[in-house]
Chains A and B, each alone.
Chain A
Amino acid sequence: MNMIVCCKQVVDPEAPPASFRVDASANKVIPPQGIPPVISPFDENALEAALKIKDAQGGKITVISLGNNLLRDVVKKPLSMGADELVLLEDEAYAEGDAWSVAYAIASAIKKIGEYDLIFCGRQAADWDNGQVGSGIAEILGLPSVTLAKKIEPEDGKAKVERVTADGYDVIEVSLPAVITVSNELGEARYPTIKGIMAAKKKEPIVWKPADIEVDAGKIGASGRRTKLLKLFQPIREGKCEIIEGESPEEAAEKLATKLREVKVL
Chain B
Amino acid sequence: MADNKGVMILGEVIEGNLSSISTELLGCGRKLADELGQGLSALLIGSAVSGWAREAITYGADKVYVVEDPLLGDYQADSYVLASEKAAKEVNPSILLMGQTEVGSDIAARLAFRLETAAVLDCVALEIDPDSKRLLQTKPVYGGNAQAIYVTDTDPQIATVRAKSMTPLAKDDSRQGEVINIDAGLDASAIRTRILDKVKEEVEGVKLEDATVIITGGRGIGGEEGFKQLEELARLMKGAVGASRPACDNGWMPDKAQVGLTGKIVTPDLYIAVGVSGASQHMAGCSGSKTIVAINKDSEANIFRMAHYGVVGDWKKILPAFKEKIKELIS
Interface residues of A (CB under 8 A from B): 11, 13-14, 16-18, 20, 22, 29, 98-100, 103, 123-124, 126-132, 134-136, 138-140, 144-148, 150, 160, 163-175, 178, 183-185, 187-188, 226-235, 237, 239-245, 248-254, 256-261, 263, 265-266
Contact = CB atoms under 8 A, between A and B. Distances in A.
A232 B146 contact: yes
B131 to A, nearest CB: 12
B141 A129 contact: yes
Contact of B302 (A18, A169, A243, A245): A18
A15 to B, nearest CB: 9
Nearest to B294: A241
B305 A253 contact: no
Nearest to A131: B121
If over half of A's interface residues share one DSSP class (helix, strand or loop), that class is named, otherwise mixed; here it is mixed
Contact of B142 (A129, A146, A172, A257): A129
Given A29-B142, A129-B139, A241 B309 contact: yes
Nearest to B278: A17
Nearest to A173: B194
A124 B142 contact: no
Contact of A167 (B78, B256, B261, B326): B256
Nearest to B297: A249
Given A174-B193, A184-B262, A237-B306, 16 more contacts: A17-B145, A99-B119, A126-B143, A129-B139, A148-B106, A171-B196, A172-B196, A183-B262, A188-B249, A230-B136, A232-B149, A241-B310, A245-B311, A256-B311, A257-B325, A265-B269
A168 B203 CA distance: 10
Contact of A243 (B106, B197, B202, B312): B312
Given A172-B193, A173-B193, A13 B322 contact: no
B281 interface: yes
13 contacts: A17-B302, A29-B142, A129-B139, A129-B142, A174-B194, A226-B117, A230-B136, A231-B149, A241-B305, A244-B311, A260-B270, A260-B291, A261-B329
B180 interface: no
Nearest to A174: B193
Nearest to A134: B109
B152 interface: yes
Given A131-B121, A229-B149, A260 B193 contact: no
Given A124-B262, A252-B313, A135 B193 contact: no
B17 to A, nearest CB: 14
Contacts of B76: 172
A163 B102 contact: yes
Interface in B49-94: 74, 76-78
Interface in B258-312: 261-262, 269-270, 278-281, 290-291, 293-294, 299, 302, 304-312
Q: Max chain B CB contacts within 10 Å: which of A160, A227, A233, A251?
A: A227
